[in-house]
Structure 1
Amino acid sequence: MTETYSKSRQQAEAAFGNLQTEFFAKNNAAEELASIAQERDAKTIRLREARLAKEQAGRISATSALLAKRSKSR
């Protein structure tokens, strides 16, 4: 059951198909950007937690060294 359309209908169908393709391409691009932003935020949080843990470990070791130095001098 093949239907034949007028030339203007065929052009309209082609234009609509192109428009849909552009729409879906933009939608996919937006989803990709959102995914990249989410990955970046997760990485930032992970790196911040690692930095804070390292800083805390440094403070603890510095405090321990200071206490050891004080106890030796007494």
Structure 2
Amino acid sequence: MNEPMSKSRERAEAAFGLTQTQFLSRTQESSKIDPVVTARNEKTARLRAMRLQQEANTAIETPSRASPIND
């Protein structure tokens, strides 16, 4: 049942093994980066919400003036 592999099959297996190793390496690196990215996204969302709230409060406090239409 153990038949020898052809040269092209051996090259394909070696290439697949290399690709799989690179993929697993990237997956491990991305798992280290994900918490940093998540924290940054959460902070950005909080700051955006605070800015929008501040803009809304400012809009309520200062009524907008309608600009006169010049014909």
Q: TM-score, normalised by structure 2?
A: 0.49
Radius of gyration: which is bigger? 1
Normalising by the residue count of structure 1, what TM-score does the alignment of the two structures yield?
Answer: 0.48
- If each structure's helix is expressed as a fraction of its own residues, which one has the higher value? 1
